[in-house]
Amino acid sequence: MEQTLDARGLSCPLPLLKARQRLAGMAPGETLVVLATDPEAPIDLAALAADDGHAFARELDAGVWRLTLVKAPGPPPA
């Protein structure tokens, strides 16, 4: 299942906080697509993905970041 979080127009750290909150309620393997205009969002979400073991991809189209996270199975790595 794929969910979309529209964080366009929100400034750091709101896209990160909203993505973290949304991921907490998702099952492993589910996909979260975050739409963001904040230039810090790809950096913040890449760090979140690395810290928690989520798959991560990013794409920029007409000034909007499409940041895709696939929730990792199990708890975050220690």
- Is pLDDT above 70 for 78? no
pLDDT tens-digit profile of 24-76? 999 999 999 999 999 999 999 999 999 999 999 999 999 999 999 999 987 65
Q: How far apart are the first and last CA of the chain?
A: 27
Catalytic residue among 12, 14, 46, 70: 12
Rounded-to-integer distance, Cα 55 and Cα 74, Å: 13
Q: Is 12 marked active-site?
A: yes
- pTM (predicted TM-score): 0.92
- What would the DSSP string read from start to end of 34-51? EEE--TTHHHHHHHHHHH
